[in-house]
Amino acid sequence: MLSVSNLDVRYGQFRAVQGVSMEIAKGDVVSLIGANGAGKSTLLRAIAGALPIHSGRLLFKQQEITNTSSSSRVQQGLSLVPEGRRLFSDMTVEENLLLGSTVKRSGDWNIERIFSTFPNLVKRRHAKTGNLSGGEQQATAIGRALMSNPDFLILDEVSLGLSPLVVNQVYDSMESLKDAGTTILLVEQDLERAMRFSKRTICMLEGRVVLDKLTSDTNKEEITQAYFGLHQSSKQEVS
Ligand SMILES: Nc1ncnc2c1ncn2[C@@H]1O[C@H](COP(=O)(O)OP(=O)(O)O)[C@@H](O)[C@H]1O
Ligand SMILES: [Mg+2]
């Protein structure tokens, strides 16, 4: 469904993403893990069309999207819930959700289904998002992305700043997306939660992919080593 090949994304001369390749098939649920600054958000934003690509290629549903606009990628079914939610704080929940349907694909998502997926939003429907709790804001951000009826959803650190209870609620709602067959690529700092949720785990270190495995074929120790680059440095010492 999504094919990333040899992708480089730069800020000026700085290579934040270097030679990254990955294949994500329809229905895959993939967690992207990595330390702060590893390049996760840069990669996700480049996939969504929010950042230009320096070199490499992106194919989505067999079509080249390397240089297409983010709205045309939304039109094709790819939608990003960005890090930090990026809601319009002086607009209401409903108004923010409606913005998500500016690019509208056919499908089952509409504002009422968002409210039944995130029932805690119902009473906040006409509240400005600046006055919401973190969990309510995150639900609104996910709902906004769902309004375009994506079949490939990208989520960047949805649990950031939320209490454990609220994180559980957000993930419970995401389980229903998984059940509906939505392809999901998400960044999650909580490794155990990521491993519980995802079929596959990809770890980035300093702009590169250092591990890409089915979650059932790896374990916490191996991922942690990749996360800290321990595996790599021990290999270097040997050679
Ligand atoms: N707008 C920017 N301008 C310059 N450097 C940036 C910018 N955004 C991120 N970076 C740098 O790119 C690297 C990767 O950042 P990011 O993709 O945000 O990492 P992560 O999401 O894994 O924490 C970091 O070194 C970060 O400082
Ligand atoms: Mg990030």
3-state secondary structure 119-149: HHHHHHCCCEHHHCCHHHHHHHHHHHHHCCC
Q: What is the pLDDT of residue 169?
A: 83
Phi, psi (deg, nearest 5) at residue 217: -100, 5
Residue 231 has what pLDDT? 67
238 has a pLDDT exceeding 70: no
List, for residues 198-221, the tens digit of each pLDDT value.
999 999 999 999 999 999 999 999
* Any ligand 1 atom below 6 A from CB of 34: yes
Superfamily of domain 2-238: P-loop containing nucleotide triphosphate hydrolases (3.40.50.300)
The amino acid sitting at 209 is: V
pLDDT given at position 140: 93
Q: Which residue has the higher pLDDT, 136 or 233?
A: 136
Residue in 185, 186, 133, 142 with CA at minimum distance from that of residue 162 = 133
Q: Is the CB of 11 under 6 A from ligand 1?
A: yes
Instruction: Tell me the average pLDDT across 129-134.
Output: 92
Bridge pairing between strands 78-81 and 29-33: unpaired
- Mean pLDDT, the chain, rounded, equals 92
Task: Give the rounded percent of residues in the chain with a pLDDT score beyond 70.
Answer: 96
The angle formed by the CA atoms of residues 148, 2 and 62, to the nearest 5 degrees, is 95
Where is pLDDT greater, at 219 or 119?
219
Which of 1, 37, 42, 38 shows the shortest CA–CA distance to 22? 1
Q: Does the CB atom of residue 38 touch ligand 1 within 6 A?
A: yes
Does ligand 1 come within 6 angstroms of the Cβ of 31?
Answer: no
Q: According to the model, what pLDDT value does residue 192 have?
A: 94
Ligand 1 pocket, residue 37 CB under 6 Å: yes
Residue 165's contacts (CB-CB under 8 Å, 6 or more residues apart) are none
Which-ligand-closest: CA of 42? Answer: 1
Measured by CA distance, the residue closest to atom 9 of ligand 1 is 42
Cα atoms in the 13 Å half-sphere on the side-chain side of 207:
12
Best CA proximity match to 56, nearest among 108, 14, 18, 105: 18
In degrees, rounded to 5, the angle at the alpha carbon of residue 164 between the alpha carbons of residues 38 and 185 is 40
Predicted local distance difference test score (pLDDT) of residue 104:
74
- Expressed in angstroms and rounded, the spacing between residue 158 Cα and the centre of ligand 1 is 18
pLDDT at 232: 55
The residue to mutate among 15, 18, 42, 156, having the most atoms of ligand 1 within 8 angstroms of its beta carbon, is: 42
Give residue-wise pLDDT tens across range 31-75. 999 999 999 999 999 999 999 999 999 999 999 999 999 999 999
Q: What is the pLDDT of residue 161?
A: 81
**What's the token pair of residue 119?**
């029932």
